[in-house]
Amino acid sequence: MSASSTAVAGRPAQPAASDGSLARPTVGRLLRSELGLVFRRRRNLVLLAVLALVPVLIGSVIRLSSSPDAGEGPQFIDRVAGNGLFLSLTALVVVLPLFLPLAVAVVSGDAVAGEANLGTLRYLLVVPVRRGRALAVKYAAVLAFCLAAVLVVATAGALTGVALFPVSRVTLLSGGTVPLAEALLRTLLIALYVGVSMAGLAAVGLFVSTLTEVPVGAMAAILTLSITSQVLDSIPQVAAIHPWLFSHRWLAFGDLLRQPVPTRDLLLGGATQVAYAAVFLSLAWSHFASKDVSS
């Protein structure tokens, strides 16, 4: 056993530290590896491609037909023909109820259950990777995917909008207009808000993913929960629970198109996501930490 010449003084050398080990742990390698797994997987790339197609499809339809009247169809769609920048917002509104939660359900549901199903989970844990660390890395990768998904939609929307429609100063919902640069910045903030809005669902998904070894089952359950939350949110008789639903403030991003920006709902929306994340990550950890990995 030859002590590594680079071993930090005063720290006992790791046993068998000949060449394979470091005295100091490396940070971020597992996260990079996890991001590679998520973003190189063909299925996930197809999901992103489908999301990117949504604004292209909407833009093409509007370009080829007459613009719908105000108040018809998804929010903002009546403004797209007048200003291409609104295509990003329309696309985000369209993907929010189903496409985006579907993508989040697929990636978060697969996070633990997928590895359990393949059997790679047992090898990951005996490397060793602490179970809490494994969950943290998995959650970070799912969040990165949520962010990538909304940025893909917003970017595809902006590019398609610029290509097919005139672009001008943007008229806000509160009246008044803002220059192009500020409009783009606000669009980016809206996309980020939508991304953050998925954090709660992603945590729920990670928890569900620790419960099973069948990833498709986890995905279906997560999507069902997402739809249930939105259905409950639309039933007035259960208005009392509306503020507690993770989907309740998903559409609050419209506030970012007002001047001044009313921050109350936006902050509450963000807080809801943080609360959901805290609760469901704790549940995921408490279940996963003592779980028998027998797959």
Partner 1 sequence: MTRAATAVPPEAPGTARTAAAALTTSGLTKRFRGGQLAVADLDLTVPMGSVFGFLGPNGSGKTTTIRMLLGLVVPTRGTWELLGVPMPAGGSRVLRRVGALIEGPAFHPYLSGRANLLRLDAADRLANPRTTRRRIDQALERVGLSAVAGKRYRNYSTGMRQRLGLAAALLQPRELLVLDEPTNGLDPQGTREVRALIRELAREGATVFVSSHLLAEVEQICSHAGIMSAGRMVAQTSLAELGARAEPRVRVETGDPELALRVLGELGCLGAERRGDAAEALLDGVAPERACAALVGAGVPVRGFTVQRPSLEETYVALTGEGFDVSQ
Rounded-to-integer distance, Cα 35 and Cα 33, Å? 5
Q: Is 127 in the site for partner 1 (CB under 8 A)?
A: yes
Q: Is 290 in the site for partner 1 (CB under 8 A)?
A: yes
Closer residue to partner 1 in complex, CB, 125/275: 125
Phi, psi of 224 (to 5 degrees): -60, -45
> Residue 171 forms beta bridges with which residues?
177
Closer residue to partner 1 in complex, CB, 22/238: 22
Choices 11-19, 95-103, 149-157, 212-220; region in contact with partner 1 by CB under 8 A:
11-19
Q: Which of 3, 33, 57, 224 binds partner 1 (CB under 8 A)?
A: 33
Choices 22-30, 219-227, 241-249, 276-284; region in contact with partner 1 by CB under 8 A:
22-30
Closer residue to partner 1 in complex, CB, 41/258: 41
Cβ contact 140:111 at 8 Å: no
Choices 17-25, 48-56, 139-147, 249-257; region in contact with partner 1 by CB under 8 A:
17-25
| In the complex, least distance from residue 261 CB atom to partner 1, rounded to whole angstroms | 42
Q: Is 238 in the site for partner 1 (CB under 8 A)?
A: no
| In the complex, least distance from residue 146 CB atom to partner 1, rounded to whole angstroms | 22
Q: Is 11 in the site for partner 1 (CB under 8 A)?
A: no
> Residue 172 forms beta bridges with which residues?
175
- Helix (H/G/I), strand (E/B), else coil: 182: helix
Structure tokens at 142: 């799912």
Q: What's the chain's length in residues? A: 295
Chain centre distance of CA 179: 29
| In the complex, least distance from residue 36 CB atom to partner 1, rounded to whole angstroms | 8
Rounded-to-integer distance, Cα 171 and Cα 86, Å? 10
| In the complex, least distance from residue 23 CB atom to partner 1, rounded to whole angstroms | 8
Q: Is 292 in the site for partner 1 (CB under 8 A)?
A: yes
Cβ contact 117:295 at 8 Å: yes
Rounded-to-integer distance, Cα 186 and Cα 270, Å? 17
> Which parts of 49-180 are beta strand (E)?
170-172, 175-178
Which chain residues interact with partner 1 by CB under 8 A? 14-16, 18-22, 25-27, 29-30, 32-33, 37, 41-42, 118-120, 122-130, 290, 292-294
